[in-house]
Amino acid sequence: MNTEQKVDTPSATGLLPQTDAIPTTGYGLDDAYITTAMKAWDVPGLAIAIVKDGVTVFSKGYGVLTSGRKAKVNRDTIFTIGSCTKAFTTVAVGLLVAEGRCSWDDQVIKFLPDFALHDPEVTRALTLKDIVTHSSGVEDGAITNIKARTTKTAIKRLRDIKPIRAHRGGFSYNNTLFAVLGQVVEKVSGQSWEDFVTARILNPLGMNDTYATIKASADLPNRAKPHKKLPEKKKATVMDVKNLDFLASSAGLQSNITDLAAWLKFHLDAAQSAEPMLTQAALDEMHSEQIEVVPNPFTLMMHPGSTRHGFGMAWFVRDYAGARIVQHGGYVDGFTSFSVMGPAKGFGVVVLTNMHNSLLPFALAYRVIDAYLDQPTVDWSGYFLQKRADHRNKVSPHDEENAQQDKVNRKLDKQRQLKKLTRKKVGKKSAK
């Protein structure tokens, strides 16, 4: 591995200089590779940070906030990070567990008596740990596919979704249950999820440019716009997106690579926090496999060379080149993000983009992983582009769960229509 690196140096701001001259050689990347890949993937804007042994060794933005505009992405640009939020909510609960205010083995109904899933027995048995390990047996589709506008409605609709497997019978990815977990944080702490996460996680880590909701960051000038690529259009276009603030504890955080570099440093070394938070042992438990993930075709395509796929507590865990890799992506309309760590080697990578359902963040991160694990250089962007072409642009981690959720949504929509018709008929009879 090339050892040429640009490391943090003290400055008035405590940040690396905002310059286009920072070399990426040594991390499996260079500016030419990144910009060429962005063009191939139609990604308007991207930011990437790399940390190693407690130091930010690379941090830079590329492209623009909005397609067709001049404002540039830099390391302070705010993106929606989607499901990478789930690890923050898990740490929030971890803090309450460390204080003895709750236990990972506590049932959800202990704190939320009205909570209900389709199966009453699972409702009674579901624990906080079941949620963070996705062991409920219930899947709810991609988060932007959830038909609700309030937290209460989203949680209520969980009881209408039939489980696809037994409780603790396998991995079942569920977004809405992290909204439930946010409610537990509020009930136990006496603070809103937003206030608790800000006071107990963001502030101690110096993550001053991270916001709990879209509403809180909507007016910031240095905020990336969401984009999608339409086949008939030459360039990416700005995308109208659903506001997910009602599911903030699942996918709502807005952040930048500067702050997320601090987040990764904390996970790799708990002592990075300015004040005591969680022990390294508690974090290591989150990064360790709690449940095996039986790989589907998408998983196998995404992780060639991995023979073991698992899930920890809000983190996917896999093996690669003899090392344990800890990671999670964030897919929401108009944005794709990816955070990954190699704990034994002390490195972490975060990539943020303002493009819908793009595999570019993974391609760039894998280049860095290969570099730090002394693996041969692979054109991961080219690999994923070919896989996308092979699947006719239908490669998605959410195909099966989206189909399941669409079926539920159609059923519920029909039920509501029938109720409306019934009310109208009753009203007409009463009027007579």
CATH number at residue 169: 3.40.710.10
Q: Per the domain annotation, does 432 fall within a domain?
A: no
Q: Per the domain annotation, does 426 fall within a domain?
A: no
More confident residue, 423 or 222: 222
Q: What domain range is 137 assigned to? A: 1-401
The SS3 call for residue 372 is helix
pTM confidence score? 0.87
pLDDT 10s digits, 185-213: 999 999 999 999 999 999 999 999 999 99
Q: Per the domain annotation, does 410 fall within a domain?
A: no
pLDDT at 220: 97
pLDDT 10s digits, 254-300: 999 999 999 999 999 998 877 889 999 999 999 999 999 999 888 99
Average pLDDT over residues 232-258: 94
Q: Per the domain annotation, does 227 fall within a domain?
A: yes
pLDDT 10s digits, 152-194: 999 999 999 999 999 999 999 999 999 999 999 999 999 999 9
Residue 94 has pLDDT above 70, yes or no: yes
pLDDT 10s digits, 100-136: 999 999 999 999 999 999 999 999 999 999 999 999 9
Instruction: Please give the helix or strand (H or E) that residue 429 lies within, else none.
Output: helix 399-431
Q: Per the domain annotation, does 192 fall within a domain?
A: yes
pLDDT at 6: 34
Percentage of the chain exceeding pLDDT 70: 84
Bridge partner list, 323 = 320
Q: Per the domain annotation, does 430 fall within a domain?
A: no
Longest C-alpha distance within the chain, in Å?
85
Counted domains in the chain: 1
pLDDT at 231: 84
Q: Per the domain annotation, does 383 fall within a domain?
A: yes
pLDDT at 146: 87
Q: Per the domain annotation, does 415 fall within a domain?
A: no
Residue 409 has pLDDT above 60, yes or no: no
Q: At a CB cut-off of 8 Å and minimum separation 6, what does 217 contact?
A: 78, 211, 223, 254
Residue 369 has pLDDT above 90, yes or no: yes
pLDDT at 5: 33
For residue 198, the 8-state DSSP code is I
- HSE-CB for 38 with a 13 A CA cutoff: 24
